[in-house]
Chain A
Amino acid sequence: MKKFKRPLTYLFLSIATLISIYPFFWMIVSMTNESVDVTQGRQLPGTHLFENLSKLFDQVDMVTALTNSAIIAIASTFLTLLIASLAGYGFQMYRSKGKDIVFNILLLSMMIPFASIMVPLYRLFGKISQTAPFLGIDTLTAAFLPTITTAFFIFFFKQNTKMFPKDLIEAGRIDGLSEIGIFFRIYVPTMKTTYAAAAIIAFMNSWNNFLWPLVVLQSPDKQTIPLLISNLGSSYAPDYGMIMSAITIATLPTALVFFFMQKHFVAGMMGSVKG
């Protein structure tokens, strides 16, 4: 029985691996081929990589999209980490009945589907546009403002703060640090791995976000990478080689982060369940 099961296990896992990896393989191979070859199902690397890339950067405003995506993702990640970790720390270290109630109310927001609030959010930013156009509709700020704190990240930091040694806080107080000083001088440096895990998830969410930027960013020079790829993908005469280059470039940052920081990556993804 056992002898029979082993090969089957390997067979199942190999098939699953093949199906999981094939789209990546096809994406990379197609990036190096001409559009015609891609349609004919060519499975071997070609010689058109540079041609596809130069077409991509000439015909499409790839640089602007990359810059916009990077600005939005970096700003969003930085603010999320700052604001959510302050809150997670506050909820855990200064526990009181009132704060526990507020925390539970904030958690409820995790159940709110984004699709159900996008229309009112759009209206809200419409109102903001009237008084502060630089924050309103069709600005990069509007693309990341709603994501600067989410209950998920507050929860994530609160859970991880449980492992933070309280002695360090007392030591800080004895050294005469202010409460906020303790947070920045002691807590932040000690919790580096927690921040790394959160940063990966926040960056990835922002880099890949599609629906909200689609709603709030309207002019072409505000386009982000997912919007650009979606546009390319819906063209009637797609240039496969060029589009696959765009998709590969879009996937590269998250794939690299995954391969080089696998532990933090998985820790971040699972953050909500532990503890």
Chain B
Amino acid sequence: MKQLMKKNNIGWLFIIVSVIAIGMFYFYPMFDALLLSFQSGMGANLEYVGFGNWSRLFNDPTFIQALINTTTYLMVQVPIMIVLALFFSVLLNDETLKFRGFFRTAIFLPAVTSLVAYSVIFKYMFSGDGIVNQLLINLNLIDVPIAFLSDGFWAKIVIIVAITWRWTGYNMIFYLSALQNIDKSIYEAARIDGASSFQQFLKITVPMLKPIILFTTITSTIGTLQIFDEVVNITNGGPGNSTISISQYIYDLSFKYTPNFGYAATVSYVIVILVIILSVIQFKVAGDKE
């Protein structure tokens, strides 16, 4: 018994540094942010203002714009990417396909780039005289270059295209490995029963992959809610504030304008609340009983 107690204590020694580090760099800041969200003032001169920051949110056009933009990215980009990734993984799961490894590696390759690096490349590709406009003009699809980066609508499209390029292959790899665990005989049986490929996809593949689809949807949701690198490096929030994201607004409030940490912390809690709400919804929709 004494020996067991001793072993238990040694066990705590193994984990103590992690507990301190995560407490200090995650949970303490979370708590501090909550306190900050009830304070206001410039820089370090803060005083309690009750719910002042929270009511300011609803009358702040930049915040509302950032919220709308971020949810737009989320609702357009995540579904497109998940469907594309599923589609490619099903195509690539066919063992008789030639060049499977090559296709898989190629589609995954964007996932090795840094967010800043690929954002700058996309910015240049979609600039007024960039390669995409040149291509579209040469193909006679357009006469005048599209103002991809200086038009609010197109700038959002470019950001969505960029994120989709970066992450589709990454998600595809998760689906591919899950697909390999599905028993082939289920498909055989379905074929004998006369199920079309599309029916097989909807009735077998999707339900079997449900846990992993849920997982990738949640991670992508958390990722896209925090989107910063792409927006800052492709459009810098512009034109106007038409592409600004919540994270960028938090950064601007804290480090670009006259620092207002209290209000910035309030905006940052909106992300936390959104993460919680969306994760709960996704769990409910997927009907996971665990």
Q: Does B233 contact A (CB under 8 A)?
A: yes
Residue pair B25, A41 in contact (C-beta under 8 Å)? no
Residue pair A90, B222 in contact (C-beta under 8 Å)? no
Expressed in whole angstroms, the Cα–Cα distance for A262 and B173 within the complex equals: 12
Q: Does A120 contact B (CB under 8 A)?
A: yes
Q: Does A124 contact B (CB under 8 A)?
A: yes
Q: Report the contact-size class of chain A (Cβ under 8 Å from the partner).
A: 35 or more
Residue pair B268, A115 in contact (C-beta under 8 Å)? yes
Residue pair A20, B174 in contact (C-beta under 8 Å)? no
Q: Does A57 contact B (CB under 8 A)?
A: no
Q: Who on chain A is nearest to B211 by CB?
A: A273
Residue pair B18, A120 in contact (C-beta under 8 Å)? no
Q: What are 10 A-to-B residue pairs whose CB atoms are below 8 Å?
A: A16-B103, A16-B106, A16-B107, A86-B14, A113-B222, A119-B33, A180-B10, A229-B114, A234-B233, A273-B174
Within 167-186 of A, Cβ neighbours of B (below 8 Å) are at: 179-180, 183
B173 interface neighbour in A91, A115, A269, Cβ under 8 Å: A269
Residue pair A258, B29 in contact (C-beta under 8 Å)? no
B177 partner residues in chain A, CB cutoff 8 A:
270
**Interface SS, A side:** helix
Q: Who on chain B is nearest to A227 by CB?
A: B116
Q: Does B83 contact A (CB under 8 A)?
A: no
Choose among B114, B134, B215, B269 the residue with the greatest number of A CB atoms under 10 Å from its CB. Answer: B114
Residue pair A119, B254 in contact (C-beta under 8 Å)? yes
Residue pair B134, A12 in contact (C-beta under 8 Å)? no
Residue pair B18, A111 in contact (C-beta under 8 Å)? no
Q: Who on chain B is nearest to A39 by CB?
A: B129
A273 partner residues in chain B, CB cutoff 8 A:
174, 212, 215
Residue pair A208, B114 in contact (C-beta under 8 Å)? yes
A156 → B minimal CB distance (Å): 12
Residue pair A117, B107 in contact (C-beta under 8 Å)? no
Q: Report the contact-size class of chain B (Cβ under 8 Å from the partner).
A: 35 or more
Q: Does B115 contact A (CB under 8 A)?
A: yes
Q: Does B265 contact A (CB under 8 A)?
A: yes
B276 partner residues in chain A, CB cutoff 8 A:
111
Choose among A113, A114, A151, A266 the residue with the greatest number of B CB atoms under 10 Å from its CB. Answer: A113
Known contacts being A12-B91, A94-B10, A115-B271, is A23 close to B118, with CB within 8 Å?
Answer: yes
Known contacts being A243-B120, A270-B177, is A93 close to B11, with CB within 8 Å?
Answer: yes
- Fill in one digit per residue for B257-273: 1 if any A CB lies within 8 Å of its CB, else 0: 00001001100110110
Within 2-61 of B, Cβ neighbours of A (below 8 Å) are at: 7-8, 10-15, 17-19, 21-22, 24-30, 32-33, 36, 44
Expressed in whole angstroms, the Cα–Cα distance for A270 and B176 within the complex equals: 11
Residue pair B26, A117 in contact (C-beta under 8 Å)? yes
A17 interface neighbour in B106, B268, B275, Cβ under 8 Å: B106
Known contacts being A93-B11, A115-B226, A269-B170, is A102 close to B29, with CB within 8 Å?
Answer: no
- A residues near B (Cβ < 8 Å) are 5, 9, 12-13, 16-17, 19-21, 23-24, 26-27, 39, 41, 83-84, 86-87, 89-91, 93-96, 99, 102, 106, 109, 111-124, 126, 145-146, 148-151, 154, 179-180, 183, 204, 207-208, 210-211, 214-215, 225-226, 229-230, 232-234, 238, 240, 243, 247, 250-251, 254-255, 258, 262, 266, 269-270, 273
Expressed in whole angstroms, the Cα–Cα distance for A115 and B97 within the complex equals: 43
B210 → A minimal CB distance (Å): 13
Expressed in whole angstroms, the Cα–Cα distance for A108 and B33 within the complex equals: 17
A247 → B minimal CB distance (Å): 5
B111 → A minimal CB distance (Å): 8
Residue pair A119, B265 in contact (C-beta under 8 Å)? yes
B250 partner residues in chain A, CB cutoff 8 A:
115-116, 118-119
Residue pair A124, B32 in contact (C-beta under 8 Å)? yes
Residue pair A113, B107 in contact (C-beta under 8 Å)? no
Known contacts being A145-B25, A210-B229, is A154 close to B18, with CB within 8 Å?
Answer: yes
B29 partner residues in chain A, CB cutoff 8 A:
117, 120-121, 124
Known contacts being A115-B271, A120-B28, A120-B29, is A99 close to B97, with CB within 8 Å?
Answer: no
Within 228-274 of B, Cβ neighbours of A (below 8 Å) are at: 228-229, 232-233, 236, 246-247, 250-251, 254-255, 261, 264-265, 268-269, 271-272
A106 partner residues in chain B, CB cutoff 8 A:
18-19, 22
Residue pair A230, B116 in contact (C-beta under 8 Å)? yes
